[in-house]
Structures are given as C-alpha cells and as structure tokens.
Amino acid sequence: MSVALVTGGARGIGLAIVERLAEAGWQVVAAGRDSQALEAATEPLRSRGLDVDPLRVDVTDESSVAELFEGCAERYGCPDLLVNNAGIAGPTVSTVSLQRSDWESVLAVNLTGAMLCCRAVLPTMLERGAGHIINIGSITGKRPLMHRVAYASSKLGLIGLTRSLAEEVGPHGIRVNAISPGPVMGERIERVLEGQALAQGITVEEARAQFTSGTPLRRFVEPGEVADAVVALDALPGVTGIDLNVSAGLVMY
Ligand code: NDP
C-alpha cells in the first residue's frame, strides 16, 4: 500500500486531502500540532475503515519533524507522497506596522516548515529513486491582497522551493509540485475576509464579492477540490515543477 503523509491534517484543506487520499486507497499519516484534535478529526475516517493514522508534529521544530518521519518509517516505511499543507495566515497589517516576530512566524511555518519536511523525507526518497512532494501554496502574492506581505512572501517562496527542488531531485526520479488554491470555503477565509474589510474600509460582504466577482466561475473553491487536485497531480508521472492554480479561475498564470 502506498503511504502519504499530510501536514496540517486535522482540519480544513489538510483533512480533506487526508480523506481523499485514504478513499483512493492510500495509507495516510495525518500530522499536526494538536494530538487531540488530530485524533478527533481522523476517528470518523478510521470508523469508515479508512487507513488514517494521526501523528504529532510541529513543522517549525527540527526535532519534532525528525520524530514524525521516524514514527512514519517505523509504522509504514518512508512516505511515497509528502503533502506540505500546514500553514498559518498571519496578520493582515500594513508593512510599516508588521512586527518582525509575525513575519518570522509566518515564514517559519509556511516556508521553513515545508523545507524541513522535504529535507527529512528526501534521503529515503533519494535512496529509493522515487517519491513525490506536493507543496500547498496560495494564489496570494501572484494576485496581491492588501496588507498580506508576510503570507504572500512565504507562499511565493514556496513556489521557489518547489521549482528549485524539482530541478535538484528530478534526475533521481522524485517529483516536486505545488498547488495554489484561491479562496477556499471555511473558517480561515472568513477571517481573511474580515481582515480585508478592515484594511480597505469595506464590509465583509463587499470583500467577499471582490473575490467571487473576479473569478470566472463566480465562486470560492471547496476544500475537496484542492484534495482532488492532489490525487490528480499524483497520477501524472510526467509532471514536475508545476504550480497548479485551483482558484475557480481567479488567477490564470
Ligand atoms: P487551517 O488554518 O484550517 O489549517 C491549517 C492546519 O495547519 C491546521 O491543522 C494547523 O494546526 C496546521 N498547522 C499550523 N501550524 C503548524 C505547525 N507549526 N506544525 C504543524 N501543523 C501546523 O488552514 P486551511 O485548511 O485553510 O489551509 C491549509 C493550507 O492551504 C495552508 O497552507 C494555507 O495557507 C493554504 N491555503 C488556504 C486557503 C484558504 O482559503 N483557506 C487559500 C490558499 C491557500 P493547528 O490546528 O494546530 O493550528
């Protein structure tokens, strides 16, 4: 059975990816910071007979990342697929008001965390001459959002990581891709909309309309649609180094 490890797997997009991969027959390790939340989120999947195991990790902590991959290796072997999904939104503030600590914590989770997980999984993937890494980016930055400098920088940095690593490990049979979701239905986007409303002096509904009216499909994306993109991308062995927008057309490049 193929093994997938998904970070930030306790809720939102990560949990949807965990579910879709398990439904597609993968053994899935759902990794996240809060063991109780992970246990509660994944229990309904196990009770449906899906192979989902929760393991704790803080992706910003090198020793915690090492423990995660050791734990996965002991139970199931090295992941065939790593999905770097863990991420934080960070503050919506002007650059002059941005605290250095906020900038650093956004980069620590969204960019350094992904790099640490890649670094931990790669030695075994390189030994095997096979493997696939998918980084969950964002369209933010490609289409700038008011007062979102830290988040946008972290997510465009992730595209740089994706392309550089794809070049580096491609000759060894390992693929590295990114998926850039647009606004996804859920708790997090509501907070982003509130932040945009405040930053631009408009209502939350006006902020929502700004997003949806800019999409050819006139809507947000569902978490399951990002999960479908993970499964689809994994089934395309000739594809590496790409950054696939799942944004209802909000961004087209
Ligand atoms: P959520 O905030 O709902 O979930 C994020 C997950 O990441 C949580 O499970 C969280 O765990 C986990 N996480 C945060 N920090 C760490 C850490 N240090 N170590 C391990 N896990 C951590 O986000 P979404 O599901 O909305 O987003 C998932 C990904 O998709 C993120 O990378 C996000 O940037 C990206 N994205 C989301 C969009 C959206 O509209 N929602 C749009 C574009 C991209 P905990 O429960 O402990 O906080």
**pLDDT single digits (tens) 229-253:** 999 999 999 999 999 999 999 999 9
Task: Encode 43-81: b = buried (16+ Cβ within 10 Å), e = exposed.
Answer: eebeeeebbbbbbbbbbbeeeebebbbebbeeebebbbb
Residue 141 has pLDDT above 90, yes or no: no
Residue 184 Cβ inside 6 Å of ligand 1? The answer reads: yes
**151 assigned to active site:** yes
**Closest residue (by CA) to atom 10 of ligand 1?**
8
Residue 193 Cβ inside 6 Å of ligand 1? The answer reads: no
The string of pLDDT tens digits covering residues 162-220 is: 999 999 999 999 999 999 999 999 888 898 899 889 989 999 999 999 889 989 999 99
Atom of ligand 1 lying closest to residue 11 CA:
9
Q: Distance of CA 33 to CAs 22, 23, 38, 44, Å? A: 21, 24, 8, 19
Q: Among residues 26, 76, 151, 220, which one is catalytic? A: 151
Query: If you measure from the C-alpha of residue 12 to the centroid of ligand 1, how many angstroms do you get, rounded to a whole number?
Result: 7
